[in-house]
Amino acid sequence: MKVVIVCVVFCGVISVIMLTLGWVVSSCWFGNMRELSSPFECGFDPFGSSRVGFSLRFFMVMILFIVFDFETVLLMPFVFVLGSGFVSGYEVFGFISFLLVLLVGVLYEMKEGALEWGY
């Protein structure tokens, strides 16, 4: 247990040192130079704002993709266990419960309109 605590403290100290070193070096080299922090469009001043609003619908689709990608990663080992033939009732119950939770989630997303592409 002491080894784990020493490793966590060591990694934390190294992380803080690296972050501080990066902050000091970047502020020494660049300081507060306005040219480096402004947008650059082929040598001209920008025509409009460089801050464009982020679509919330795109964000929702991205989150749904991550959730169902994670679901696929969790389902793949069970498929291999099913192929081996050594499956207990608890494993099947856990698998069906997991699928039911995902199904309820998809139905809720469909009800809320998160999966509709029409704007």
Per-residue pLDDT of 29-66, as tens digits, reads 666 666 666 666 566 666 666 666 777 777 778 888 88
| pTM given for the model | 0.47
- The rounded distance, in Å, linking the Cα atoms of 115 and 86 is 37
Q: How many CB atoms lie within 10 A of CB 71?
A: 16
- The rounded distance, in Å, linking the Cα atoms of 80 and 75 is 9
Query: Could you tell me if 109 and 115 are in contact, meaning their C-beta atoms sit under 8 angstroms apart?
Result: yes
Per-residue pLDDT of 92-115, as tens digits, reads 888 889 889 888 988 888 888 777
pLDDT attached to residue 8:
94
- The rounded distance, in Å, linking the Cα atoms of 102 and 112 is 15
